[in-house]
Structure 1
Amino acid sequence: MPKSRAKAPVGSSPNRRLTFNVHGTEAISSLKRALNLQLFLAPTVIHLQDGGIPGGRKDLYLSAAIQRTLRGLFRQLCAGEPTLHRNRFQSFLEIEQGEKPDKISTILTKDTYKFEQFLEVWWMKFGLGIERPISIDDKDLTKPISNYFIDSSHNTYLPSHQWGGKATVETYKRALLQGCRCVEIDVWDNDTGPSRDKSSTGSTRGIPRSDRSQKFNTNTLHTAAAHIKGAVDDKIEQTRQFLGVEKVHSYSPRCSKFDVRSPPSGLADTDTDANAATDEKANAERPSGRSKAVLPRDEPIVMHGFTFNQPIGFRQVCKAIREVAFEATHLPIIVSLEVHALLEQQESMVKIMKEEWAGLLVEKPHETCPNGQMPRLDELLDKILVKVKRASLSPECSMVAEDDATLGPDDDRSTKRPPPKVPICENLSNLGVYTHSEHFTNFESSSARVPSHIFSISENKILDLWESKRDELFTHNRHYFMRAYPKVMRIDSSNPDPSQFWRKGVQMVAMNWQKWDEGMMLNKAMFSGEQGWVLKPAGYRSNDEESRVQTNHLSPDKFDLIITVMSGQHIPLPEGMPAHKSHSLRPLIKCELLVEKPEERSGSPGEGTRLRPIEWKKQTGSGRTDHPEFGTENRTLCFKGIPKVEESLSFVR
């Protein structure tokens, strides 16, 4: 394949993803998205024509260093002429920048270009414009929904780490507004309601004492833990106020060491403040000395079982999802239910979802898409799909944990506590029209051939399967859904590298949105501007008959990526460095290429249990000051001769 070159600050092909470390903070984005207006705020202004307003003007602020660099590039492209000829401009955009010829021919309408016109086209048409989200009209929505990668979250109700704090509806709102299209809800019985000694379905009447004890243990322990945690927190707070001691730490999202970080790319720019305000309001409304949350009686609750998380109401969560579900995009949402509630409150769940999501909830197959056939993405606009386990035909089969995300032999969780086991009622089961949960046993089982099934499997188990059943795993994921969730040891809400699962065809990689780390940077890069659904590349989809396994469809050509870093401005100074010392700053750019390694393709042991060490690392030479120019030497980062690369699943950090 031809070489692909990119001259910073403007990017190249949208399939090559990176973020420069110019700001002194880590972030990942598409190559074009590396361009950010914040890089170019300076007193010196260049006036550009605003094509959207007759006689209008746009001002582009550039430092002297960047202007020198760009004017030098312009003179080089002009080859001695006073203006840039269209042919040379087109050659630069196509060969150096990797732009598509059909797009270039549409935009380049003049025969010659002055410097200001050159910048206007280069930055406004092939640079800054890419910052805007992709229009839904420009996305291919015609494929079955299992042919897409889906932006997914894990334990969406948690604001920080996995074992403490308060569940909150604000985390659902933030995630959905930022593009997440698969959220998770853990649903439990509300033990604060009236007595369950009833004769109705799902009650405890008639259950042997030993079995009843077991059932109460698995359905009430979480509530007791939350109440104990709340009581302790209240007592500590009362004591602190009495003694006048300053509060230095708590497990709230605003002051825990497991904070919801505000990422440099603006992933949650104002959300932390909003979450803090929500917590302060909740604390103010809660009577002093009382720890029990005010929850609707006889309605299920949402929380992380067997931990010290305090619950919220299931109806609250459904209302929050409805409020913001389709503000950012019309593409569908998948709600992944992990059900621990008994049958009586399962019926309540169904009632609540139908009430709160009226007109949005998928309750029956699409008229053009009967059961046994997956719908196209464009047939589910503004719809909410429920992922839930099916009701079982026999009592023996029905007593199975709702999801593989509960305790099980395939995970590395403690085996001291038995998994919660509840049958799923028929009315709830019926809502899993196109997305129903199935317990994974093997790829030869009958359930593995039902179009609507979803296997939820832990990250470690998927990596094990990749070693032993590589072809079967990839072939399955070309046709059917799979969801990966973080291993239980990630109690700090850390994340795995999601790209290793995307390259195995896994559609939903459930990420801990509570933590901004390298895994979430990659997730942000993958879905930035894509409205939460990304079409799988060729060879990964169900209609790609030319490819049976992953290794056969990858390009046989070697991949070359060349990035030239030219200059920068307003680089933040190190903490404690006064502004008059900025002349001593020596910034440089480090770059890591994240692609599938040969040993990963062969399923070597241990691959992916943590973020992989990067084999291809490059860095520039040092610039000078906080407005550096990188000269002509040691400013080019070359990644050449990399075999079998799927560009859309490769990243630059």
Structure 2
Amino acid sequence: MSKQSYRVCCCFSRKFNLKEAEVPADIKALFENYSENGLMNIEHFHKFLIEVQGDDKLTREEAETVMKSFKNLNILQPKSLSIKEFFRYLLSEINAPLSHPPKVHHDMAAPLSHYFIYTGHNSYLTGNQISSDSSVVPIIEALKRGVRVIELDMWPNSDKDDIHIMHGGTLTSPVKLIDCLKAIRENAFVASEYPVIITLEDHLTPALQAKVAEMVSETFGETLICSTSESSLQEFQCPDSLKRRVIISTKAPKEYLDQTKSLNEQVDDGGVKVVKKSSEEPVWGKEIADLAVKFVHEDEGEYKDDDDDLEQDAALKYKQLIAIRAEKMKGGIKAWLGVDLKKAHRVSLNEENLEKAAPTHGTEIVRFNQRNLMRVYPKAMRIDSSNYNPFKGWIHGAQMVAFNMQSHGRSLWLMQGMFRANGGCGYVKKPDFLLKKGPNNEVFDPKGSLPVKTTLKIKIYMGVGWNLDFKSTHFDAYSPPDFYVKIGIAGIPSDSAMKKTEIIADNWMPVWNEEFEFPMSVPELALLRVEVHEFDVSEKDDFGGQTCLPISELKSGIRAVPLHDYKGNKYKSVKLLLRFCFT
């Protein structure tokens, strides 16, 4: 037999030796402790759910309902389980690490400032920030994933008679505003009934602002929350009162021009006003659009004060759209944090400026975010649409940590993990320590040293499903992989850690039986990180799946943890069997 034919035979042998996963020894021993004569009856099962799975409030009747739900798994005796049936239960969707089915369970009657909100950045871009296409597709995909804040950058088209959505000053192609609005209307509440906030970056003339007002009003109709007051809100409304409503958030009309004039020096240069950027930049920085030098011809009508009545009428219509007013504050950190705390504000800063301000003003930022909304967005240098560590914003109570949803990778996996909490509705109540004040009016200090609050013990039993999901996982059906697991915690720096299992060679259903411990000081903000890779001696290790889960909602006991692909889509069959224990 030739060497080549031997390889073929070996490959076919490997493929057709695939079999059902064997029950790990620890699971067999556990079954024996909660069964009699090879069967787990309803009393045994109920006891197992209470003592091992931590479902101490589960009634016997509820346990029986769970057991009966497995009739579709060929259970011959509906009120008892064999060891194989018990193992199938452990690997089933009903034995998920989070509540199943997902449900909203946080208090949704607090002001919007009390929630982390699933927020997109430049939501219309399909790729990088410089040359990719603008499209409604990423907007639709984001909404279907539960994203609740959509960002649109509005610019006049070449004829200045219509509005385009695009990343200004770049080679990105435009998409029409009306198409984006219709896409939002049709998909806003597919994944969640809680409010969608549209943040508008406005680079329009008063006439086009009036056109935006007309478009938005006609598109959203009664679902739109409009402003009826000239003054700022005393407090934001709650998500419960805003179900299935659309909210516009942007600057008030002409604020962009007024701020630019006050912050920059103007000089005449042969009939052209050259607006130079001030050498003094506020600590909190500026939006990307403000960083460029502006050239405004005197004979252009873009910001002239002629036809005041027309402009005032347009401004009024546009202003009434704005239910959450975005504000640009000047004067540095004191101006931002010293605002009237009896009124509610919405402000923006990029990740770098948050990092600069946080070391000396961390507690003031936390206090500011107890009443106000803060949007943190990627720095300008992320032209590849990469993302940053979202905990930079979350630890300071920032509600709108804005991400490029068209990008992929570990940062976005963390974002997806955070918003798997609270039924995936896109609003996650901030932990109490970020919302409360102490007896001396003190607030949480992000830099403070904190004691360990809990320790999570994790046992990794095994993994299954890759041999059933070749199309999605892209593994070679004829070559069993060499899998290992990376597992750990993402959170505040002192809680963050990653550990790694041994490599199990040539096995579609690897069994590790390894245990790890993770002490945590702030489990309320922590996420469980899980990645599976295939070891490769000569090349980069292949990707085998990932997930991130909120520690605050993680169920104790033995759980089937479904894995997702690189883009965050759940695999059909791939999962790990893990045991969680909090001490």
Q: Same fold (TM over 0.5)?
A: yes
Q: What SS is found at the alignment partner of 1:565?
A: strand
Match of 1:486 in 2: 378
Please tell me the residue identity of whatever aligns with 1:560: T
Counterpart residue number, 1:610:
none
Amino acid at match of 2:186: E
Paired amino acid for 2:207: E
1:169 equivalent to 2:136? Answer: yes
**1:438/1:453 contact within 8 Å kept:** no
Quote the offset at 1:502 in angstroms.
Answer: 1.2
Q: Is the 8 A contact 1:163 1:309 kept in 2?
A: yes
- Give the letter aligned to residue 360 of structure 2: S
Does the C-alpha gap of structure 1 residues 43 and 553 become closer, same or farther in structure 2, counting only changes over 3 Å?
farther
**Correspondence for 1:539 among 414, 433, 440:** 433
Q: Which amino acid aligns with 1:327?
A: V
Asked if the contact 1:619–1:637 (Cα under 8 Å) also holds between the matched residues in 2, the reply is no
Whether 2:220 is the aligned partner of 1:349: answer no
Q: Distance in 2 between matches of 1:106 and 1:435?
A: 52
Specify which of 277, 286, 299 is matched with residue 162 of structure 2: 299
Residues 125 and 436 from structure 1, CA distance in 2 versus in 1: closer, same or farther, beyond 3 angstroms? same
Match of 2:311 in 1: none
What is the total number of aligned residue pairs between the two structures?
462
The answer as to 2:232 corresponding to 1:390 is no
Equivalent pair of 1:478/1:505 in contact (CA under 8 Å): yes
Per the TM alignment, residue 93 of structure 1 is displaced from its structure 2 partner at its CA by 4.3
Label 1:437 to 1:117 Cα distance change in 2 as closer, same or farther (>3 A). farther
**2:490 — aligned with what?**
594
Structure 1: gaps spanning 5 or more residues = 1-41, 45-61, 194-297, 599-613
Per the alignment, residue 617 of structure 1 pairs with 498
Deviation, structure 1 residue 314? 1.5
Matched, 1:190 2:86: no
Structure 2 alignment gaps of length 5 or more: 1-14, 68-78, 264-276, 297-301, 304-313, 531-583
**1:158-192 deviations in Å (ceiling 9; x for gaps):** 11100013211122111111111001011112232
Structure 1 residues 363 and 392, CA, compared in 2 at 3 Å: closer, same or farther? same
- For residues 467 and 498 of structure 1, the distance between their equivalents in structure 2, rounded to whole angstroms, comes to 17
Structure with the higher fraction of residues in strand conformation: 2
Q: Map 1:502-581 onto structure 2 (within 5 A).
A: 502-528=394-420, 529-541=423-435, 548-550=443-445, 556-571=451-466, 579-581=477-479
Q: How does 1:145-224 map to 2 (within 5 A)?
A: 145-193=112-160
Q: 1:636 aligns with which of 514, 533, 541?
A: 514
Deviation track 1:4-59 (CA, whole Å, cap 9, x = no partner) reads xxxxxxxxxxxxxxxxxxxxxxxxxxxxxxxxxxxxxx999xxxxxxxxxxxxxxx
CA distance in 2, matches of 1:579, 1:643: 40
User: Could you give the per-residue CA deviations for residues 189-248 of structure 1, whole angstroms, max 9, x where no partner exists?
Assistant: 22324xxxxxxxxxxxxxxxxxxxxxxxxxxxxxxxxxxxxxxxxxxxxxxxxxxxxxxx
Residues 84-163 of structure 1: pairs in structure 2 closer than 5 A: 84=40, 93=49, 96-97=52-53, 99-103=54-58, 107-109=62-64, 113-115=80-82, 118-119=86-87, 122=90, 127-128=95-96, 130=98, 134-136=102-104, 138-163=105-130
> CA separation of 1:517/1:106 partners in 2, compared to 1, >3 Å: closer, same or farther?
farther
Distance 2:136 2:364 in 1: 39
- Which secondary structure state, in structure 2, belongs to the residue aligned with residue 568 of structure 1? strand
CA shift, 1:365, in A, is 5.9
- 1:70-469 correspondence to structure 2 within 5 Å: 72-78=28-34, 82-84=38-40, 93=49, 96-97=52-53, 99-103=54-58, 107-109=62-64, 113-115=80-82, 118-119=86-87, 122=90, 127-128=95-96, 130=98, 134-136=102-104, 138-193=105-160, 298-364=161-227, 371-391=233-253, 396-397=258-259, 399=261, 410=285, 417-418=292-293, 425-439=315-329, 441-443=332-334, 447=339, 449=341, 451-469=343-361
Q: Deviations over 1:128-162 (max 9, x none)?
A: 495856334x4432111111111111101111100
CA distance in 2, matches of 1:379, 1:163: 39
Q: Which amino acid aligns with 1:588?
A: Y
Distance 2:295 2:361 in 1: 29
- Matches of 2:130 and 2:93 in 1, distance apart? 47
Q: Which whole-Å deviations, capped at 9, do the CAs of 1:489-536 have from their partners, x for residues lacking one?
A: 000000001133212211111100111111111111111341211111
| C-alpha distance 117-416 of structure 1, shift in aligned 2 (>3 A) | closer
Deviation at 1:120, TM superposition (A): 6.9
Q: Which secondary structure does the structure 2 equivalent of 1:566 belong to? A: strand
Rounded to whole Å, the distance in 2 between the matches of 1:125 and 1:587 is 23
- The Cα of 1:78 is off from its aligned counterpart by 2.8
Q: 1:413 to 1:187 in 2, by over 3 A?
A: closer
- Supply the distance in 2 between the matched residues of 1:174 and 1:74 (Cα, whole angstroms): 43
Contact 2:362–2:446, Cα closer than 8 Å, also in 1 = no
Alpha carbons 1:187, 1:341 under 8 Å: kept: yes
Per the alignment, do residues 411 and 299 of structure 1 end up closer, same or farther by CA in structure 2, a change over 3 Å counting? closer
Aligned to 1:201: none
Aligned-residue offset at 1:114 = 2.7
Q: 8 Å contact 2:327–2:346 — kept in the other structure?
A: yes
Looking at structure 2, the residues matched to 121 and 568 of structure 1 have their Cα atoms a distance apart, in angstroms, of 15
Counterpart of 2:20 (choices 47, 54, 64) is: 64
What is the TM-score of this pair, normalised by structure 1?
0.62
* Cα RMSD after superposing both structures: 4.1
Work out the CA distance in 2 between the residues paired with 1:442 and 1:372: 22
Counterpart of 1:639 in structure 2: which amino acid?
E
Q: Is the 8 A contact 2:94 2:100 kept in 1?
A: no
Deviation at 1:123, TM superposition (A): 5.3
CA distance 1:576–1:388, shift in 2 (3 Å): closer
Kept in 1, the 8 Å contact 2:344–2:371? The answer is no
1:571 to partner: Cα distance: 3.5
CA distance in 2: counterparts of 1:81 and 1:419, whole angstroms: 82
For the residues of structure 2 that align with 1:433 and 1:615, how far apart are their CA atoms? 38
- Local SS of the residue matching 2:516: strand
Determine if contact 2:491/2:525 at 8 Å carries over to the other structure. no
1:651 counterpart letter in structure 2 = L
2:387 paired with 1:495: yes
**Structure 1: how far apart are the matches of 2:392 and 2:315?**
36
**Is the contact between residue 78 and residue 84 of structure 1 (CA under 8 Å) also seen in structure 2?**
yes
TM-score normalized by structure 2? 0.68
Q: 1:334: how far off?
A: 0.6
Residues 160, 551 of structure 1: alpha-carbon distance in 2 compared, 3 angstrom cutoff? closer
The one of 350, 356, 367 equivalent to 1:475 is 367
Aligned partner of 1:646 in structure 2 is 523
- Percent of pairs with identical residues: 22
- Alignment check: 8 A CA contact 1:387 1:437 kept: no
